[in-house]
Each structure stands twice: as structure tokens, then as C-alpha cells.
Amino acid sequence: MFCVVGEGHSIRDNRPPSVDALARRLANDVDVPHAVLVDVARRAIAEGGTHEEITVRALDVGHQLAQSLMGEVINATGVLLHTNLGRAPLAVARGGRAVNVEFDINDGSRGSRHDPIAHLIRLLTGAEAAVVVNNNAAAVLLVLAALAAGRDVAVSRGESVEIGGGFRIPDVMARSGARLVDVGTTNRTRLGDYRAAIDEPSNDVALVMRVHPSNFSIDGFVQRTAIEDLATLEVPVVADLGSGLLDNGVPWLPNDFRPVPSWLTTEPGVRQALAAGADIVTFSGDKLLGGPQCGIIAGRAELVARCAAHPLMRALRPGHHALLPLQEVLLAHLRRDVASTVPFWSMVVRTQTSLLARAAAVVDSAGIGVVERTDAVVGAGAAPDATVPSAAIAISGDHSEALRAASPLPIIARVHHGRTLIDLRAIDPADDALIVDALTALKD
């Protein structure tokens, strides 16, 4: 491609800005490193145009680039564990020092990255042993690889599910080296169906696996086989619980929170699944546990040890960036102060009355919007049918773009039937002032 400078135009008018001058100009408005702005400037200049056009385009690209970086946001969606917003939020403040991940301070010898956390999980759930990996998908993969590679795993057709993000039970099964044996039907699977699969001479069933459907539910003529019943079979029972509620009696919540809402009491608890006879359970760290992204394998010591000793463990083990916050969250459950120290549990215990009062105060200060009762949802595939009573500030029109551009923190709101809803349940009260500022700015 070549350009011809037309007669009559002075060379000077058409000369593009220098890369360096444009990058410096961008630095006034876009807070990213100079090297990034140089790249933006270079590409904008290469696309040609007048000085003005190039600058406007470069600013646009620069802004988009800065906005595309990860950072903290205000979750006003009313989805408590929003997968796109990182599921469970966590406050992590650290001193930048080393961490004794595998060093025993008692005697100065090499320690285990698993033992201290496993001890806390034992206390909270009654499990004999536990081991932590990078996420629950990894936990399921490791359990299948360690306990059933080259053998069969019986799964109900009603639980051969896709959880989201490409996590499909048949695919994970295939990758683990285990073979899936479909049992029962989509809507009804009985104990006898599992027993028949185990007794079938051409099968070599190593495990029965139960998968929590997590993000959908089937109603009507439906029958699942309880863990208690599966535990009467002669092969180990693995329950992929997903949501990671340690105990559905939620003993870590304050007494004034009782009675506990049914969306919590009907989630499968880790303690209850183990007590019912599950030999192994797997669950996420960043769903109802409210911790960092990780996956936990808990249950019978001999089976957990086989998972921990599998070569894949080395590829799936988390670092202190996950283990330390996980330990914090587990300690908070034991101290029973999650409601004030773990952000997810703070969201859970807020009363609708307090949220309505906060919404009214925001509307009052900002001079825009109306208070509205809403239904928040848990999200992340936990409690798919449940809603949690909440409160929002409602404004007519779609203001989602302006709110995303809010400074210092983007506000991620929900737009419903031509109105913008800022749901307060997932928002820390300390951020209400930022909501007021952003809403006040909408009026201009």
C-alpha cells in the first residue's frame, strides 16, 4: 500500500505525529505504562488520518485497554457469587514476606502444605483427611485419576452434567482415564440401577459418583438415590458437592440469623454427606465456603492419601496465595465470626430491612432513583432455585455503561425492563458513598 500526497497539500500538514509525542499525550489521560502507550500510538499512526483523528483513535484504544485490565469492581448485580466477577470476593492484605508453606516452625524440618489445613477441615466437617488442589474441577479429575483410572465409574444419567465453563462429567471422566458407566435414566435412578452396573460381569466398577447438579434442577417425576443408600454398595462413593457448604446447620452464623433460610439448609453440606456415608467429597473453595479459588478433596484417609500420592497432584497443587486465605476462611468458620470477616458470609447475613434502609439513604443523598425490593441470587451454580430477598436503587433507563466507567471503581449493575438496578446485597456498606457519587454524576 502507498499514499500519494496530493498537489497543494503541504508535506507538513500530513506528517503524522511522532510516536513519542503521541504516547506522552496519551499518558495525560490513560494510566498504563509508557511502553504500552508507545504500542498504542504506533498502531494508531500506522492506520493513518489527520493528527486529530489519530489522537482521538489512540485515546479510545488506550482507554479501552486500561479498562480491560483486571481490578476491583463494585458488584451491584445482585448475584452474590458472580463467576465473571471472580465468585467469592476476598480481602487479601499481605506483607510481601515468605510463607512457611512446607516448613514446620516447631522443629525446623520440612513440613507438609496439606496437613495444617487438613486438620482444620477435619474439625469442621468430620472428614478423616483432606487435600487441596487448584479448583474443584481439578479435585474431580484427581479423584477419578487416582481411584479409578482404567476402571469404571457409575454415574446416574441425571447427573452426567455440564457445570459451566466446559466442565462436563463425561469429558473429565475421559481425561482422567476412567470409564463412565451410565446408570438409570435422566429423571429417575434407583439403588438397584447402581447395583446392576456393579454386578454386570463386563464392568469393573471402581467408584460410584454422585454429582450435585448445581446450576439446574429437574422437577416432577424425579428420583435420586440418597448417599445413605449408595453407601450400602460395596464400592466407594464419591460425592461431587460443588458448592462447598461445610455444614448445612451453619453453626458459624450468629444466633440472631436463625432460623437459617432454606436455600442454605437444603444445600448439601460436606459434614452431612460424609456422615451419610460418602467416602470422598469434592467441593470448591470459592463458592459457599467464601474462600479463594481452590478445590478440596475430603473423606477417608486411605483414599485421600492415594489422591495426594498421584503424580497429577504435583501439577494441581495450589500455592500459598490460595492456601493462606483458605486457612483464614477455615479459621473464621471455627471462630464463628465469618459474618464479619468473610465477605461472602457478610453478604448472606445482611437483612433485607438493613438493605432497604441503605438504599433509601443512597437515594436521599444522590437525589436520583427509587428504592426497590429485589430478589438476589447466590450464583456460581449454588442453590440454583433460591432467591435471597434484597434491595436495590432503581433508575429508569440503561445507565450500565456510565456506571462501568465510574471512578475510582467500576460499578457493575443489572438492567431489567429498561431500568438500571443497583442491588446492595453484594456491596459492602463502606462502598455506599461511591454509589452516591456515581449516581449523583448521572444527573449531570
Ligand X SMILES: *Cc1c(COP(=O)(O)O)cnc(C)c1O
Q: Which residues are near ligand X by CB under 6 A?
A: 135-137, 140, 163, 167, 211-212, 214, 240, 242-243, 284, 295, 381
Distance CA 157, CA 176 (A): 19
Supply the minimum distance, in Å, between the C-beta of residue 177 and ligand X: 18
Cell of 375: 430478589
Nearer to ligand X, 212 or 317 (CB): 212
Nearer to ligand X, 25 or 168 (CB): 168
SS3 string of 356-406? HHHHHHHHHHHCCCEEEEEEEEEECCECCCCCEEEEEEEEECCCHHHHHCC
Nearest alpha carbon to residue 153 among 194, 112, 115, 119: 194
Supply the minimum distance, in Å, between the C-beta of residue 137 and ligand X: 3
* DSSP for 117-171, written as a single string: HHHHHHHHH--SEEEEESSHHHHHHHHHHHHHTTSEEEEEGGG--EEETTEEHHH
Supply the minimum distance, in Å, between the C-beta of residue 437 and ligand X: 34
Nearer to ligand X, 82 or 399 (CB): 82
Nearer to ligand X, 137 or 411 (CB): 137
Supply the minimum distance, in Å, between the C-beta of residue 135 and ligand X: 3
Distances (CA, A) of 397 to 78, 372, 394, 418, 427: 18, 15, 9, 5, 22
Nearer to ligand X, 273 or 392 (CB): 273
Cell of 297: 478433596
Supply the minimum distance, in Å, between the C-beta of residue 241 and ligand X: 6
Nearer to ligand X, 152 or 159 (CB): 159
Cross-strand pairs, 336: none
Contacts of 343 (CB under 8 A, 6+ apart): 88, 89, 90, 91, 290, 428
Supply the minimum distance, in Å, between the C-beta of residue 383 and ligand X: 11
Q: What is the CA radius of gyration of the chain?
A: 27
Nearer to ligand X, 248 or 400 (CB): 248
Supply the minimum distance, in Å, between the C-beta of residue 302 and ligand X: 23
Under DSSP, is residue 2 helix (H, G, I), strand (E, B) or coil? coil
Report which residue type is found at 127. A
Supply the minimum distance, in Å, between the C-beta of residue 151 and ligand X: 21
> The dihedral of CA 237, 275, 158, 263: what is its sign?
negative
Supply the minimum distance, in Å, between the C-beta of residue 167 and ligand X: 5
Nearer to ligand X, 89 or 369 (CB): 89
Q: Closest CB to ligand X belongs to which residue?
A: 242
Nearer to ligand X, 171 or 199 (CB): 171
Distance CA 373, CA 392 (A): 6
